């Protein structure tokens, strides 16, 4: 019979059995066998004589590249730590991952401008108030099973992370304005300024319409650019193959669910153990 031992093993199963059955002291056995007292004591405490398996207990789930890209994009947008991101992936996207597997697929994350963005309690201490919304856009080129081209709109408040999103099959200036009004109505606070990331948007027409509407509402607006031009997001397989949760809802319903889940589903340490929704509501009291 072949006996497999760990590379650094100093005893054999026969010696281990002898250690467990002997009436001699630990020191006497160590001197007799030429091993350490620690080794003697370790094997005397065990019932088995075989080495423990070194095969990893956690078997990492293989993920599609589209899922990896989606999860990393979600982390970048939400700026969520591992446990909060795991909650969103499991409860929101319906992807059954362990914490270890999720960590394995995350790419290194670094602040784009070399400085960390202050959020939550740290932002408040620095005098930064949650009074600004950033508006974002992505053109989605989806699989024919998902009816082709769509448009993703989302707004985010940087201090709390609070977000709101919708996916539409068509775009127009009135639709974009109606969406913004709905977001401002839904936001649990007082928005005084809005920042539009201009190089993310498909058309200057929508930026102009938003800017004019915000001016009419007496809300300050700034149009800024990011470090890189965001191209259309092309998805060549049905979305349900990437996001299991889409078996039970539409893409638009999913992004609304994700926002509701992030805003009110899990308390965050950086927000003083509150959800983004509760954090903002507490500031209004």
- Residues 16-73 have pLDDT tens digits of 788 778 888 888 888 888 888 888 888 777 766 665 554 444 444 678 888 898 999 8
Phi, psi dihedrals of residue 257, rounded to the nearest 5°: -65, -40
Residue 134 three-state SS: strand
DSSP-assigned letters across all residues of 218-282: T-EEEEE--SSPPPPEE--S-GGGT-GGGGSS-HHHHHHHHHHHHHHSS-BGGGTSB-HHHHHHH
Strands 163-168 and 149-156: antiparallel
Confidence of residue 156 (pLDDT cuts 50, 70, 90): very high
């Amino acid at each position: 019979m072949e006996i497999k031992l760990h590379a650094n093993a100093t005893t054999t199963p026969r010696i281990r059995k002898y250690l467990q059955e002997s009436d001699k002291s630990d020191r006497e056995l160590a001197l007799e066998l030429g091993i350490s007292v620690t080794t003697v004591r370790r094997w005397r405490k065990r019932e088995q004589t075989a080495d423990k398996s070194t095969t990893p207990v956690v078997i990492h789930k293989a993920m599609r590249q589209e899922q990896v890209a989606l999860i990393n994009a979600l982390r970048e947008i939400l700026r969520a730590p591992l446990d909060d991101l795991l909650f969103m992936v499991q409860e929101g996207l319906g992807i059954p991952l362990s914490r270890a597997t999720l960590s394995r697929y995350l790419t290194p994350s670094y602040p784009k401008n070399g400085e960390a963005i202050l959020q939550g309690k740290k932002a408040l201490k620095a005098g930064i108030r949650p009074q600004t919304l950033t508006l974002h856009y992505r053109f989605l080129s989806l699989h024919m099973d998902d009816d082709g081209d769509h448009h993703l709109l989302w707004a985010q408040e940087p201090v709390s992370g609070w977000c709101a999103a919708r996916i539409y099959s068509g775009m127009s200036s009135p639709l974009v304005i109606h969406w913004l009004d709905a977001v401002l109505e839904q936001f649990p606070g007082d928005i005084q300024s809005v920042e539009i990331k201009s190089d993310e948007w498909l058309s200057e027409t929508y930026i102009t319409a938003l800017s004019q509407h915000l001016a009419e509402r007496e809300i300050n607006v700034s149009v800024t650019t990011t470090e890189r031009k965001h191209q259309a997001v092309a998805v060549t397989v049905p979305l349900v193959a990437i996001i299991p949760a889409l078996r039970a809802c539409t893409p638009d319903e999913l992004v609304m669910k994700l926002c509701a889940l992030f805003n009110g589903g899990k308390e965050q340490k950086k927000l003083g153990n509150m959800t983004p929704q509760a954090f903002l509501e507490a500031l209004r009291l």
